[in-house]
Structure 1
């Protein structure tokens, strides 16, 4: 009997299956420093304990996307080790801040299955929860991934497609306890723009670009203990290229969005997302955002913006899909999320 883990294949999943993922991870200031080194991340609330304390929090939490990557990375050996592609996200919520010293682990439930018509792969839907050392859920989200079949003769399971919310309502968002933007320091945050300065339909070109480096993306992916073969093994794809982890592009685009959205401090909801086209090293990533909706929250001085964040290798701001309804080849990421911003 082999002692090594070949990963699950499509036929190994069943709706209702619950998977507790190895290996718990204690996060600290090192994760913050390396995250800020890998991306041009500089939102003030995640950079400064003093700034976070002026906003009613006890200290600066771990970056929201860093927490997401840790939780996501735990799931890879069980969910996407034999993946063809990570297809999308829905119903993502950040429920509690993650503090330096917290220990995170992940648990997933299979909520949907559908074999592809080619009989060689299928789509697996999972709802993943990230839990801290107290057993509290700090975040949860749904993702769906295309996974290879190991046995092409294995019968197709009954197709089950979960009903997912296309958009989280503002009342679905959880505001961190104590968050208060009434004394917000716009000078220290880097920009003067507040909730009322943004209009639904507004498109913001974030101007800056970053060229993706092979070594940096592999360091980032190892940081999250993401073991997917396509990110490391150049022999795993027929073209001999390492696929850039989609989360690397999410974090890069979010960091680039600082220029124009410096006060969109915290991500609290993930409505949906698509990795529209693969990314490889050497490509230069730029980003633009569209304001999709606005909402007030019960927290003092805190508003919410629903934003579309698009990462691109050259498409102009506002360009997303062609006349055929398909993503333009230059579009890498189309992400729909809620962020908290001072009123």
Structure 2
């Protein structure tokens, strides 16, 4: 009897099934320290207990994207171990802060299946939920991945493509309990720009760049317990290169966005996202943002910006697609999210 896990293939998924992922993980200040070592992450709310307390929170929460990585990493052995590509995200919600000492676990429900026309792979849609030790949902999101078939002769399932919301609406944003930006310290946060200083349609070049190193991206991917073969095993690709985990690009771009969006402190929703082109060691990641929408919230002093965050590996900023409508080859990431910022 085989005791090793080869991972699931496309034909191993059943619409409506709920997959409980191993292994629960208790997070601590160690995750924060490593996150800040791997990325130029400097947002004050996730860096300082004292700053967080001045904003109405009991302590500094784990970086929102770090919490996402922990929840996401649990799903990889069951969802994307044999994936050819992680294709997109939608309907993402950060519902509760994750605090040092919390224990996170993940579950995913299969909500869509569609075999590709070549018969060699198919797309699997899942809705993933991350729970804390109290069984509270802290994060949920939909993602879809292209997964290899093991048995090419297996008949295709009836295609089901989920009807997903184009964007999370402002009334659906969940504000962390107690968050209050009415006494916000702009000097300590690093920039003076507040909600009213940003205009819909405005674009921001985040200026800085970071060259991705082979060892760093593999360390980061192991930190999140992401076991996808293409990130570690150079024999998995014909070109002999390890593919950079897309979440590594997300974190790098979010951290780079500090320069221009230092006060966009809390990520509360993920509207959509695409890993447009592969990233490899040696690529230099740069980032730019576009303000897509704005909304006030019921929390004191708190506004919300809907932002497009684009990571590139070269080329001029503010260029996303070519004349054919496809992403330009230098575009790595196109991420649409909501963040909270002081009014």
Counterpart of 1:157 in structure 2 is 157
3-state secondary structure, aligned to 1:300: coil
Superposed CA deviations along residues 273-303 of structure 1, whole A, max 9, x for unmatched, are 0000000000000000000000000100000
3-state secondary structure, aligned to 2:57: coil
RMSD: 0.4
Counterpart of 2:341 in structure 1 is 341
Residues 287 and 310, structure 1, Cα contact 8 Å, conserved in 2? yes
3-state secondary structure, aligned to 2:290: strand
Counterparts of 2:150 and 2:333, CA distance in 1: 29
Counterpart of 2:11 in structure 1 is 11
1:327 matches 2:327? yes
Counterpart of 1:172 in structure 2 is 172
Counterparts of 1:318 and 1:220, CA distance in 2: 28
3-state secondary structure, aligned to 1:73: helix
Counterparts of 1:276 and 1:309, CA distance in 2: 12
Counterparts of 2:315 and 2:15, CA distance in 1: 39
Counterpart of 1:273 in structure 2 is 273
Counterpart of 2:227 in structure 1 is 227
Residues 203 and 317, structure 1, Cα contact 8 Å, conserved in 2? no
Counterparts of 1:295 and 1:71, CA distance in 2: 28
3-state secondary structure, aligned to 1:235: helix
Shift of 1:271: 0.1
Superposed CA deviations along residues 22-77 of structure 1, whole A, max 9, x for unmatched, are 00000000000000000000000000000000000000000000000000000000
Superposed CA deviations along residues 119-167 of structure 1, whole A, max 9, x for unmatched, are 0000000000000001000010000000000100111000000010011
Counterparts of 2:24 and 2:148, CA distance in 1: 27
Counterparts of 2:171 and 2:146, CA distance in 1: 32
Counterpart of 2:32 in structure 1 is 32
Counterparts of 2:163 and 2:299, CA distance in 1: 30
Counterparts of 2:95 and 2:274, CA distance in 1: 22
Residues 56 and 180, structure 1, Cα contact 8 Å, conserved in 2? yes
Counterparts of 2:224 and 2:279, CA distance in 1: 19
1:74 matches 2:68? no
Superposed CA deviations along residues 158-212 of structure 1, whole A, max 9, x for unmatched, are 0000010011000111000000000000000000000000000000000000000
Alignment of 1:55-204 (within 5 A): 55-204=55-204
Residues 265 and 339, structure 1, Cα contact 8 Å, conserved in 2? yes
Report the TM-score when normalising by structure 2.
1.00
Counterparts of 1:262 and 1:83, CA distance in 2: 35
Counterparts of 1:48 and 1:317, CA distance in 2: 32
Residues 308 and 334, structure 1, Cα contact 8 Å, conserved in 2? yes
Aligned length: 343
Shift of 1:314: 1.2
Counterparts of 2:102 and 2:315, CA distance in 1: 40
Counterpart of 2:213 in structure 1 is 213
Counterparts of 2:185 and 2:258, CA distance in 1: 16
Any runs of at least 4 consecutive aligned residues in structure 1 with deviations exceeding 3 A, and if so which? none
Report the TM-score when normalising by structure 1.
1.00
3-state secondary structure, aligned to 1:200: coil
Structure 1 unaligned segments of length 5 or more: list them. none
3-state secondary structure, aligned to 1:328: coil
3-state secondary structure, aligned to 2:235: coil
Counterparts of 1:42 and 1:155, CA distance in 2: 50
Counterparts of 1:335 and 1:316, CA distance in 2: 18
Counterparts of 1:58 and 1:201, CA distance in 2: 35
Shift of 1:315: 2.4
Counterpart of 1:315 in structure 2 is 315
Residues 52 and 59, structure 1, Cα contact 8 Å, conserved in 2? yes
3-state secondary structure, aligned to 1:21: strand
3-state secondary structure, aligned to 2:71: helix
